[in-house]
Amino acid sequence: TVRALDSITSEGELRRRAIHVLLTNWTGTYTVPSRTLYPHQWSWDSAFIAVGTARWSPRRARTELLTLFGGQWIDGRVPHIVFNPAVPPDAYFPGPEFWGARAPSGARTSGIVQPPVHAMAAWRVHLAEPDRAFLRRLYPWLAAQHRYLREARRMSGTDLVSIVHPWESGMDNSPAWDGPLAAVPAPPIGERRRDLAHIVAAERPTDRDYERYIELARAYRDGGYTGATAFVVEDPMFNAVYGAAEADLARIAAVCGADPTPHLRRAEEITQALLDRLWDEENGIFHARDVVTGELLPADSVSGLVPLILPGLPADVADRLIATAVDRFGLGDHLLPSYPPGGPAFELSRYWRGPSWINTAWLVLQGLRSRDPDLAAKLTAGMMEAVATAGFREYFDPITSEGHGCRDFSWSAALLLDVLV
């Protein structure tokens, strides 16, 4: 299948174009996800960007991660946005004035987090060009990031961590959040949305969604960025990434001369807690749990497949997840959608409610490679075909690969570079 691509675009050409996108979006110290829609530094974007950037400039990849951690708070949290002071404050909503937060470095930031893919990224950057001094510098910061999650976010009292805002999941308007969001009040926010200046409304979250996002963020901010909000959820992807990152932290610790065993133990505990609390045996997928009501949330999403990346996931669970990915998400036939095409909430082009995204495909790929190399090759070919057809768009129609969202989107370029190697 990879060969079929020759007729569309050669691998060398794709690589050249991907590097061009990353060069265009590089600011000197980090890479914007998009020049138009997302003009600041985003937390998990930077981790994915570092993975791909390491394939052509390991030095830049190290700078990308070190810059992001320049926005880390005293309590260890890595904010989901580090604002660029050179960008006009109204270029993105909600901007620095809304969040009203500063890191000890002086950087203006948001106050919520995103999936902690950073230790996974740091390890891959090190593999691309071993640099012990880099890992030694980053390791305490990564450890603090994880300590924050462990100490402030184990809100059910188990080994799983909770998110307190849909933006923390990275999958903002996933159908999985429809239930818990319905309970959140939604006062009008006026005309402040900036995203609609760049992208058609049909490809973005709705105004109702935004009203709730702002209400939740306001309440969390007014509580001093601690405690719960009306939205407290244990998400499979967030926790799977957190567990896989602990396993990579163990590798990083070993290189730094620190003790890897606490990280390995935590990776096991997180894996076990995912199985105990989020595995839906009947449906063969992980589902998010609403910590407010205690209920499992019924919507399938690609988030529920990401636990495949956990090294300690039992083989029978992994086999069932792969079967679900094939049967309900069409893995093997087309690029992995964010929500199953046969599901009641499916939308072809609306953001996280159906379209395929390169980052979630890449995460699942990390778990598939050792377990099912043939399917992994098909998924890789699907990723390449999507960008060869549509360019480095933000997301793609899972069936036709038509591109949606912004153009020249950094993680689509970066993760393509990673899989092209």
Question: Phi then psi for 163, rounded to 5 degrees?
Answer: -105, 150
Rounded Cα–Cα distance for residues 48 and 118 (Å): 8
> Is 268 considered catalytic here?
no
Residues 143 to 202: which contact ligand 2M8 by CB under 6 A? 167, 170, 172, 195
Q: Which residue has the tokens 């932290």?
A: 249
Choice between 195 and 300, CB closer to ligand 2M8: 195
Residues 75 to 114: which contact ligand 2M8 by CB under 6 A? 80
We find the least distance from the C-beta atom of residue 39 to ligand 2M8, in angstroms, to be 10
Report helix, strand or coil for 11: helix
Query: What number of other Cβ atoms are within 10 A of residue 268's Cβ?
Result: 17
Site string for ligand 2M8, 345-384 (x = CB under 6 A): ----------------------------------------
Report helix, strand or coil for 290: strand
CB-based contacts of 321-329 (< 8 A; 24+ apart in sequence): 321/284, 321/285, 321/286, 322/368, 322/371, 322/372, 322/375, 323/284, 324/283, 324/284, 324/285, 324/300, 325/364, 325/375, 326/375, 328/285, 328/300, 329/302, 329/305
HSE toward the beta carbon, residue 285, CA cutoff 13 A: 26
Residues 203 to 242: which contact ligand 2M8 by CB under 6 A? none
Residues 23 to 52: which contact ligand 2M8 by CB under 6 A? 33, 38, 42, 44-45
> Which position among 234, 394, 397, 418 bears the catalytic label?
394
Choice between 81 and 317, CB closer to ligand 2M8: 81
Site string for ligand 2M8, 253-282 (x = CB under 6 A): ------------------------------
Based on the shown chain and the rule CB under 6 A, indicate whether residue 392 belongs to the binding site for ligand 2M8. Answer: no
> Is 6 considered catalytic here?
no
We find the least distance from the C-beta atom of residue 31 to ligand 2M8, in angstroms, to be 11
We find the least distance from the C-beta atom of residue 145 to ligand 2M8, in angstroms, to be 16
Choice between 68 and 376, CB closer to ligand 2M8: 68
We find the least distance from the C-beta atom of residue 405 to ligand 2M8, in angstroms, to be 8
Based on the shown chain and the rule CB under 6 A, indicate whether residue 64 belongs to the binding site for ligand 2M8. Answer: no
Cα 313 from chain centre: 20
- Residue 329 makes CB contacts below 8 A (sequence gap 6+) with 302, 305, 336, 337, 340, 341
- Total length of the chain: 421
Rounded Cα–Cα distance for residues 292 and 227 (Å): 13
> Which position among 45, 64, 172, 418 bears the catalytic label?
172
Which residues are catalytic, by number? 172, 394
Interface ranges with ligand 2M8 (CB under 6 A): 33, 38, 42, 44-45, 80, 167, 170, 172, 195
